Structure 1
């Protein structure tokens, strides 16, 4: 007998399984889905049995031993991981590693896996739950049943949701996230597999756990971009994987949020999702506003221009006089974001990526966030030699300095700068905080004590040339709206108060209708499914030529398969130089009813040095 084994080892994407002979003494006990030990090159490693065939080959190596008699995976689960690997251009091992417990040989021999019966589920339906307050949010978990997976975007949401469950149900909860220790993961995985804990709350990787049964999946905060694996490979979106899980387990899926994604709003209005609430044709989803609306501070106002500060005079007074916590949001690091010569227009740029360098006052250096390049700041322009090189724009570092100026000698607040580069420790002090931060700061805010919220530099975020920019800004504003207290003050500084985002604050349906109409005209998601392919090499020309040839191959493949797709590109990525490589890419807009199936077919024509990003958060960045 021969068994196809998927090795639990990082491998190139074209290696999915290897053949091994099955010794007579284990022929009767070997099953698909079992964890086994196999010789691989010069070592013994773990593998999972994918299939067993009645044929012989004396030249093959033998399976060493069966680690556990009870299969960890079903055949259908393994087939799903194989399909996902073909879609996301990785080895199946990538998904198996996310699905397995930590592989510690000493412990694995002692574990007991129960044979759990498969539950027959009834009708499959997908629905949506919209909430505006924590009280409404709790209703989502009132009738939670066993065999439920609750997926959240960030670790900070796990404990928050656990507390919302009825006390009896809290005892049945297992939590799953990547930062857990191996010991915690080992014990939790066994509890989930043996259904000793049958309600799981986890971040996006929990979707790959090998459940025996799932009757319901709740995707909470479904609007959040952290449900997309945008910063690591494979670049999957949780919503795409849910389609495979629903087919595998025949389970119900419930999407929920205080700020529906534009995709789900579209599906609700087109009756593709059951909406748990009434839809009014004029107001559609959103009932009347309960809190006071955010106040807009117009940057073109004369008082602001004369003040020569990043804050208006009114906001400076608010900062001085606020006795409780303050949150100042600026989604940009550093002191200044652009260095420009007033005389000749020269802009200091990273020589590799061509992106503007950021000025950091504490080191008096210009640096690139995309490469390791940095240089000392010199006020003399390298192009025209004039002493008119000035820093413009602002980041968290400059705002921190401005806040200290406003407070002057008043030592009333603890000032903290929280961004990706520098997360200062929130030391307990007997005074309120002023938190200056990017999106990384949200998890550190005590909303109950936060009296003043200020958004700076929103206009720059809205000007980012990505089709999701507007939606991302909208959800950030709505997150503050959801968490902040009724008594708090929320200010947004803008030079464009007539922008759709701000006009929609009191009429939320407007932004959805407007942006979806624009996306329809441009054939963008959710009207067309988008997938991005990109390639990096040591020269821009090489990357360009490889990408151009690949686009030609894809066009030929579409003709051969009798399928259609709109090809965007090839184009140079932004930044063009990242992680010591030059990047070029292209994107496909797919109208096919099953876009992931078409992507799987097209991937046969994609070279091995390409990366794939289905349902991307950015079309331009590598």
Structure 2
């Protein structure tokens, strides 16, 4: 009798851990008795411990001894399109694959949890009327349906009904058996948009956001991975990484929001990643905004991507608010209060007397000490970068935080020779206390980064919508695509405050915020008023923002970007060091800058080193270096010259040079 020996066939795989094991090594080889797929999430032995990893490729038996895969964490593998996007991110942002994978996967992925319902419990604020599309909306829908391109820029004025376009195209994706992702800014999850999608897709929405618990987010992630039917995912930038089986549409709403750029490693742009993810899935992307970033708009035009315009407001919208500009250099208009004009106070009193709402907006990030002429509005700018100079009172200097240019604080205005040079700012807490003193019987709520979760737009949206809150005070948190039907008066406390920031995007952000805030009113039946207070009423960003005139602002801004070599005309790389003492920060920043200059090409510029805008943080002194280059590839090479210490960080393609 003959015996047959059955030997198990061993399978070998490259596995990428989600924590860095060794610098410069992204994958390691392991074996397993069973056949596994690319994308399977596994537990692997690393040293004396274990790690979670992802299978990225099958390989032949190596010449060295391998360790076994200990456990398959989840039987359903990650989609290959998502893994391909992760590898692109690692290369494009010069970031270890482990850092990317840890961003893609939910925390506690290897924990055993009870299965919980993941359907969002979201109170519907209002029922939506059954609408037919406007001519503009239908044209936009048809253009995107017929397009063979991946990316589409939907440039719609505030109130033009971009959400309706998103929903119709989401219906198309679902009908084709494919999912859709709708990104909204993390800073304020848009309750109105969620309402509309829940009503159209009551059983298909997966809602994800930062206020959910670890277990809740894990449950949403598993629902996406295991689902055999298409879903509508709504959430912030991380929603891109839900593991959907198929994908037909990605929407990036309010694409101009800075929150779409992640500030921690991997420092990725959700706009870039959305495009790559869509390409991998053979899906379409819609970038929607009333105020698209000029660099993105320019790039879309240059690439021949469809730029679709919604030029008029949608159904039953008012013709627009009445806008009045108050010149803050004319002190005769401030007889009742030092920073609330007589015009604004009168309008507030009228609105409150008729039980309508008031919104007071202030760009808080521009409330740091600014230097300007109280008579003509002149501000000091850096001749090398065109950005405003920042006051350093300890040295009595105005300093350019990008180039290092500095000058003494002037004793008189160089334009009008007036001696009233002011250095001051206004904060939202000060506004709140002054308004409470002037209107003690009104319900006043402040919405900003310091107001806490209990005062988030999302948690108090019903009160905002039904008019229970009389006076709303807010920063850019409130300047989102929400409809407030009882809002009658909007006051912009100092429209040009953001222009004082030493950044190449300060004028763009000022224009965007003015445009977005004015867009909060004039959407319903209430005759709305906007009072714009500013020291610089003739500044292009202020004038174009008030007029909702993107074309004028874009036409003026593009030559300035070209003149000073800022995006879209060059790529940027920012290095920041942090040391316990100022001397160490300065010494090491200057040493590294000298090394970088030796590596620069003729077409490249190095600016700095200079103190970071937020120079002292967490007990350290922070200095930065910025490099402009026409070659992004060479910037990636320069990252390789970074000193091997924990004192330095880098960011390629920063959306701001404030750090």
TM-score tier by shorter-chain length is: 0.7 to 0.9
Cα distance change on mapping 1:434 and 1:333 into 2, 3 Å: farther
Query: Which residue number in structure 1 is paired with residue 656 of structure 2?
Result: 618
1:603 and 2:639 correspond: yes
Query: Which residue number in structure 1 is paired with residue 490 of structure 2?
Result: 453
2:151 to 100, 103, 126: 126
Query: Which residue number in structure 2 is paired with residue 254 of structure 1?
Result: 286
1:141 and 2:167 correspond: yes
Q: Which residues of 2 match residues 168-317 of structure 1 at below 5 A? A: 169-193=201-225, 194-230=227-263, 232-267=264-299, 269-270=301-302, 272-277=304-309, 290-304=319-333, 306-307=335-336, 309-317=338-346
1:226 Cα offset (Å): 1.6
Q: Calculate the TM-score normalised by the size of structure 1.
A: 0.77
**How many residues end up aligned between the 2 structures?**
545
Q: In structure 2, what is the Cα distance between the partners aligned to 1:605 and 1:335?
A: 37
Q: In structure 2, what is the Cα distance between the partners aligned to 1:454 and 1:109?
A: 50
Q: Which runs of 5+ in 1 are unaligned?
A: 112-120, 284-288, 340-352, 358-389
Q: What do residues 51-90 of structure 1 show as CA deviations (whole Å, max 9, x unaligned)?
A: 343335666543223334443253x644542442354454
Task: Give the secondary structure class of the aligned counterpart of 2:359.
Answer: strand
Q: Which runs of 5+ in 2 are unaligned?
A: 1-10, 117-145, 313-317, 372-389, 395-421
Q: What do residues 310-340 of structure 1 show as CA deviations (whole Å, max 9, x unaligned)?
A: 112222222333222211122339999699x
Q: In structure 1, what is the Cα distance between the partners aligned to 2:530 and 2:255?
A: 24
Asked if 2 retains the 8 angstrom alpha-carbon contact of 1:12 and 1:90, the reply is no
Q: In structure 2, what is the Cα distance between the partners aligned to 1:516 and 1:611?
A: 30
Query: Which residue number in structure 2 is paired with residue 467 of structure 1?
Result: 504
1:500 Cα offset (Å): 0.9
Query: Which residue number in structure 1 is paired with residue 105 of structure 2?
Result: 100
Asked if 1 retains the 8 angstrom alpha-carbon contact of 2:522 and 2:528, the reply is yes
Q: In structure 1, what is the Cα distance between the partners aligned to 2:572 and 2:257?
A: 18
1:396 Cα offset (Å): 2.1
1:414 Cα offset (Å): 1.3
1:519 Cα offset (Å): 0.9
Q: CA RMSD in A?
A: 3.9
Q: What do residues 5-30 of structure 1 show as CA deviations (whole Å, max 9, x unaligned)?
A: 3223366764523444x2xxx34423
Query: Which residue number in structure 2 is paired with residue 416 of structure 1?
Result: 445
Cα distance change on mapping 1:435 and 1:160 into 2, 3 Å: closer
Q: What do residues 88-141 of structure 1 show as CA deviations (whole Å, max 9, x unaligned)?
A: 454322221232244454648999xxxxxxxxx994332222223254541332
Query: Which residue number in structure 1 is paired with residue 521 of structure 2?
Result: 484
Asked if 2 retains the 8 angstrom alpha-carbon contact of 1:150 and 1:217, the reply is yes
Asked if 2 retains the 8 angstrom alpha-carbon contact of 1:13 and 1:89, the reply is no
Asked if 2 retains the 8 angstrom alpha-carbon contact of 1:142 and 1:166, the reply is no
1:162 Cα offset (Å): 3.8
Task: Give the secondary structure class of the aligned counterpart of 2:605.
Answer: strand
Asked if 2 retains the 8 angstrom alpha-carbon contact of 1:152 and 1:202, the reply is yes
Q: Calculate the TM-score normalised by the size of structure 2.
A: 0.73
Q: What do residues 434-482 of structure 1 show as CA deviations (whole Å, max 9, x unaligned)?
A: 2223223457987222221111133331121211111111111121232
1:435 and 2:472 correspond: yes
Cα distance change on mapping 1:338 and 1:199 into 2, 3 Å: closer
Q: In structure 1, what is the Cα distance between the partners aligned to 2:433 and 2:424?
A: 15
Asked if 2 retains the 8 angstrom alpha-carbon contact of 1:68 and 1:108, the reply is no
Cα distance change on mapping 1:247 and 1:223 into 2, 3 Å: same
1:502 and 2:542 correspond: yes
Cα distance change on mapping 1:294 and 1:15 into 2, 3 Å: farther
Cα distance change on mapping 1:191 and 1:164 into 2, 3 Å: same
Q: In structure 2, what is the Cα distance between the partners aligned to 1:354 and 1:300?
A: 20
1:6 and 2:16 correspond: yes
Asked if 2 retains the 8 angstrom alpha-carbon contact of 1:5 and 1:48, the reply is yes
